[in-house]
Amino acid sequence: MHVVTRGVIFVDLALAQVAALGAAVGIIMGLEHDGNASYMMALVFTFIGAAFFAYIRSSNQKVPQE
């Protein structure tokens, strides 16, 4: 609960879910679930998510040394 109250975001878990979302979108669009196109869709979603997290990261906010 302490982690939730401090507002810590686990970026690795968030990016894994973004990749799963990309794969799901690819499957909904009719791509094969084990094909290269579905993999690329998940990869593109992951890069977009990583860019988003890098963009919203505040340089003024400091990480405590706990």
pLDDT in tens, 27-61: 999 988 888 999 999 999 999 999 988 888 765 56
Q: What is the 3-state secondary structure (H, E, C) of the chain?
A: CHHHHHCCCCHHHHHHHHHHHHHHHHHHCCCCCCCHHHHHHHHHHHHHHHHHHHHHCCCCCCCCCC
| Full residue range of the structural domain in which residue 43 is found | 8-56
Give residue 46's pLDDT: 95
pTM of the model: 0.73
Residue 30 located in a structural domain: yes
Residue 65 located in a structural domain: no
Cβ–Cβ < 8 Å for 27, 47: no
Cβ–Cβ < 8 Å for 7, 31: no
Residue 2 located in a structural domain: no
Residue 1 located in a structural domain: no
Residue 36 located in a structural domain: yes
